[in-house]
Amino acid sequence: MTRQSFTERSFLAKNPSVLWFILILAVFTLGVTVLSEAYGVAFLSTSFVKTLGKTLCLCLVALAMDLIWGYAGILSLGHMAFFALGGYMLGMWLMYARTEEIVVAALAQGGLPATPEEVRQGIAVQIFGVVGASELPAIWAFAHSFWAQMALVVLVPGGLALVFGWLAFRSRVTGVYLSILTQAMTLALALYLFQNDSGLRGNNGLSGLQNLPGLSDASQDAVSMWFFWGSALALGLGYVLLSWVVSGKFGSVIRAIRDDEQRVRFLGYSVEGYKLFVFTLTAVIAAIAGALYYPQAGIINPAELAPIASIYLAVWVAIGGRGRLYGAVIGAAFVSLLSSWFTGGRAPSVPLGFYTVNWVDWWLVLLGLSFVLVTLFAPKGIGGLFDLWQGLRGPDRKGAPLGPDDGALMEKEARE
């Protein structure tokens, strides 16, 4: 008994949630496939399959948020910016390649074969006519190459996170100040992208992303399923990767940083290095999730980077349960699906006689209220139900403070 808890047992034996998660995800994916229009009995509409696929991407970004917030205690309000940047990077290739097809087809009708210069000019006018420009901005230099843009999906958000994180963590900005700083970064990025000369079509954003270049014959029914499978695969891999990251000594160290970073320094660990590592890793995961999300949404614009999006992300993770990976997934899936049900106008209004509660307006109030209630009365979130089920109890801290960082705050509050 004494030795068993930390002696050699396989990764899966130590992390039973991984097997369960993969099993449930596989059954879910299979179920949706069987019920889809493209490959099954057409019970689920293609738009609903897209909603489910997008939800899987949101679950993936919630996993990243849980690692940075739930485990490392850094409340980042910028991860949806990395998510959107990932979407923009892949969106550039989708839009460019798709427009290229259209332009080439149009020019072919003119009789003479089009020169590359004419094609390039045609693409520029097609994409940028809407913001009054006729030249491709320099940042579109690699837009013709799928692999280059795929690399940028990782490099641009990862690079931004690396530089921003290095500056912020090196100055030992922590807690709520760091949250404000990340939020400012998000807002600045959104405001920049809203400009017409930002090179990414201003507030029009990128559109038509649901059409895959070179596959114009494929129906959206099939494309939606491909992206659904891709999203499910990414979520499964992300879950295994992050479970592995948090399971070993690395996980111990980042949880220790959350609870008392000064003590971790005296153990000889460079706290700033660990924070930067986690910040960048989660930014890259968020970007990959975004690159899978926006082709399913079909459109991306700077409103996606609004700070509120990142706050929603924090709310999902808090409601699902911080500090456990499946909690983040449950929170993101549950709250985002419920949200689209309420705001989609399908929830029945509640007539009170003197006033009718219209859920499209009142959903946000309900969400805010649940967030406050969960924070105050169930800091472990929905994931805490699994503890009740297993009869586990947290350690009695006898009122000892958990540490100076805000990541530890809620458990402390819960005891008060």
Each residue of 382-400: b (16+ CB within 10 Å) or e?
Answer: bbbebeeeeeeeeeeeeee
Place of tokens 């099954």: 40
- In order of 196, 358, 372, the CA distances from 366 in angstroms are 36, 12, 10
Stretch that binds other proteins, among 6-14, 42-50, 335-343, 381-389 (CB under 8 A): 6-14
Q: List the one residue from 3, 10, 138, 348 that touches other proteins (CB under 8 A).
A: 3
- As a whole number of angstroms, the distance between CA 199 and CA 91 comes to 13
In angstroms, give the least distance from the CB of 154 to other proteins.
Answer: 17
Number of residues that bind other proteins (CB under 8 A): 36
By CB under 8 A, residue 267 contacts other proteins: yes
**β-bridge partners, 299:** 207
* Tokens matching residue 46: 């293609």
Residues numbered 291-310 forming contacts with other proteins, rule: CB under 8 A: none
Residue type present at position 397? R
- As a whole number of angstroms, the distance between CA 324 and CA 279 comes to 18
- As a whole number of angstroms, the distance between CA 191 and CA 353 comes to 43
Hey, is 270 helix, strand or coil? coil
Return the H-helix or E-strand segment holding 225: helix 220-247
Nearer to other proteins, 265 or 346 (CB): 265
Stretch that binds other proteins, among 43-51, 53-61, 189-197, 262-270 (CB under 8 A): 262-270
Stretch that binds other proteins, among 50-58, 119-127, 247-255, 325-333 (CB under 8 A): 247-255
- As a whole number of angstroms, the distance between CA 291 and CA 156 comes to 12
By CB under 8 A, residue 387 contacts other proteins: no
In angstroms, give the least distance from the CB of 252 to other proteins.
Answer: 5
By CB under 8 A, residue 263 contacts other proteins: yes
In angstroms, give the least distance from the CB of 229 to other proteins.
Answer: 29
Q: List the one residue from 26, 345, 358, 397 that touches other proteins (CB under 8 A).
A: 397
Place of tokens 């959903």: 363
In angstroms, give the least distance from the CB of 3 to other proteins.
Answer: 7
Label residue 217 exposed, middle or buried (CB < 10 Å: 0-12, 13-18, 19+). exposed
By CB under 8 A, residue 249 contacts other proteins: yes
By CB under 8 A, residue 248 contacts other proteins: yes
Convert residues 268-287 into a mask of x (bound to other proteins by CB under 8 A) and - (unbound): xxxx-xx--x----------
Nearer to other proteins, 93 or 274 (CB): 274
In angstroms, give the least distance from the CB of 77 to other proteins.
Answer: 23
By CB under 8 A, residue 256 contacts other proteins: yes
* Tokens matching residue 356: 């009718």
H runs (alpha helix) in 109-219: 116-128, 146-170, 175-194
- In order of 69, 155, 373, the CA distances from 328 in angstroms are 11, 25, 17
As a 3-state breakdown, the chain gives helix, strand, coil percent values, each rounded to 5, of: 70, 0, 25
Q: List the one residue from 233, 253, 308, 409 that touches other proteins (CB under 8 A).
A: 253
Nearer to other proteins, 123 or 278 (CB): 278
By CB under 8 A, residue 395 contacts other proteins: yes
By CB under 8 A, residue 22 contacts other proteins: no
Contact 361, 349 (CB under 8 A): no
**β-bridge partners, 351:** 356
By CB under 8 A, residue 217 contacts other proteins: no
* Tokens matching residue 287: 């970007």
Contact 213, 94 (CB under 8 A): yes
By CB under 8 A, residue 171 contacts other proteins: no
Binding region for other proteins (CB under 8 A): 1-8, 245, 248-250, 252-253, 255-256, 259-260, 262-263, 265-271, 273-274, 277, 394-397, 400, 402
